[in-house]
Amino acid sequence: MENKKDSKNIEINKRMKELVIARIDAQVPSNLRLAIGSYGGMSKEEMIEHVKKGDEIGSQIVKRHMLFLRSLASGEFTRALASAE
């Protein structure tokens, strides 16, 4: 997976926010609370609100999603899964 320094180079735009909001809306159950680093637990709706606001938490959520999508597209994620078997 990509390292922490790579996430600092991601410039967040409106389309990225829309993509991440759609992913969260489609993949995160409404009754689930996720812990995001030192920010604590938050609901699906709270995550979406942070992404919409573009605050620090929202930026971190977008960056993590984008790093994950890049690792999927590059095949890095699949290689990591295959090596774990």
pLDDT in tens, 9-52: 678 899 999 999 999 999 999 999 988 888 889 999 999 999 99
47 DSSP β-pair partners:
none
In a domain, 25, yes or no: yes
Mean of the pLDDT values across residues 6-11? 67
Domains of the chain: total? 1
Which backbone phi and psi does 35 adopt, to 5 degrees? -90, 130
Q: Contact 84/42 with Cβ under 8 angstroms?
A: no
pLDDT of residue 85: 67
Domain containing residue 77: 13-83
How many other β-carbons are positioned within 10 Å of the β-carbon of residue 1?
Answer: 10
In a domain, 46, yes or no: yes
DSSP 24: H
Amino acid letter for position 74? S
